[in-house]
């Protein structure tokens, strides 16, 4: 068949009759999209973990012996990560202000790229804050602790970059498929 024949068949075909428009609504909700569901799950898990750490860090990690700057750095980094998680949860809700699927996906892709950069940065800042907090207690082998945190930071950055890269790739492929 040629393109012209396909186009004629398409034009002559009867439009689908939707009997039940309620069946389509669950597909449009964010909780049914696998990529966004995984992102939301990760964000909620991280928010719970950071909240628990903030609640019990003073007693569990001998916070009374740490200097004030170590507390401020740790609390501000954890608060930044929590705030980032909350904004991320809100950011990945479906867009209702766009009329076309392609435009909505492009906006989500742009939002996700920005969020991914901030996500990797905030997690790195959290690891550095933990290094500052815990290195105040160690004096003899401080270089071992510092090397451990640098290795941890490098592994974390690589791991998070791969996770966000895969998520962005899935959304970018979806934009390409819609554009084609």
User: Which sequence spans correspond to the domains of the chain?
Assistant: 26-179
- 8 to 1, 11, 15, 17: CA distances (angstroms): 11, 5, 14, 20
pLDDT over 90 at 162, yes or no: yes
> Scanning the structure block, which residue is given the tokens 């609504």?
25
- Give the relative orientation of helices 34-60 and 68-91 as an angle to the nearest 10 degrees: 160
pLDDT digits (tens, 9 = 90+) for 14-51: 776 666 666 656 655 555 667 677 777 877 887 888 88
- pTM value? 0.65
Question: What is the rounded CA–CA span in Å between residue 62 and residue 51?
Answer: 18
Distances (CA, A) of 46 to 35, 53, 69, 82: 17, 11, 24, 8
The pLDDT of residue 25: 60
Higher per-residue pLDDT: 34 or 52 = 52
What does residue 94 show for φ and ψ, rounded to 5 degrees? -65, 150
Cβ distance 53 to 130 under 8 Å?
A: no
- Cβ atoms of 39 and 92 within 8 Å: the answer is yes
* Distances, alpha carbon 108 to alpha carbons 53, 75, 96, 98, 123, in Å: 31, 31, 11, 11, 22
Mapping DSSP to helix (H, G, I), strand (E, B) and coil, where does residue 17 land?
A: coil
Give the tens place of pLDDT for each residue, 106-145. Answer: 888 888 898 899 888 888 888 888 888 877 766 666 677 7
How many helices (H) and strands (E) in the chain? 6, 0
How far is Cα 125 from Cα 143, in angstroms, rounded to an integer? 19
Instruction: State the alpha helices, DSSP H only, in the chain.
Output: 3-12, 25-28, 34-60, 68-91, 101-135, 142-179
Is 126:84 a contact under the CB 8 Å cutoff?
no
């Amino acid at each position: 068949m040629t393109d012209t024949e396909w186009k004629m068949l398409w034009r002559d075909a009867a439009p689908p009759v939707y009997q039940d428009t309620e069946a389509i609504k669950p597909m449009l909700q964010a909780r049914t999209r696998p990529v966004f569901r995984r992102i939301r799950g990760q964000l909620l898990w991280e928010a719970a973990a950071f909240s628990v750490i903030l609640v019990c860090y003073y007693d569990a990690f001998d916070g009374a012996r740490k200097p004030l700057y170590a507390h401020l750095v740790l609390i501000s980094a954890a608060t930044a990560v929590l705030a980032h998680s909350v904004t991320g949860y809100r950011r990945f809700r479906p867009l209702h202000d766009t009329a076309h699927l392609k435009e909505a996906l492009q906006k989500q892709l742009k939002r996700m790229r920005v969020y991914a950069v901030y996500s990797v940065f905030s997690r790195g800042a959290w690891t550095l804050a933990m290094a500052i907090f815990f290195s105040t207690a160690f004096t003899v082998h401080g270089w071992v602790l510092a090397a451990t945190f640098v290795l941890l930071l490098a592994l974390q950055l690589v791991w998070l970059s791969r996770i966000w890269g895969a998520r962005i790739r899935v959304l970018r492929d979806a934009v390409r498929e819609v554009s084609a």
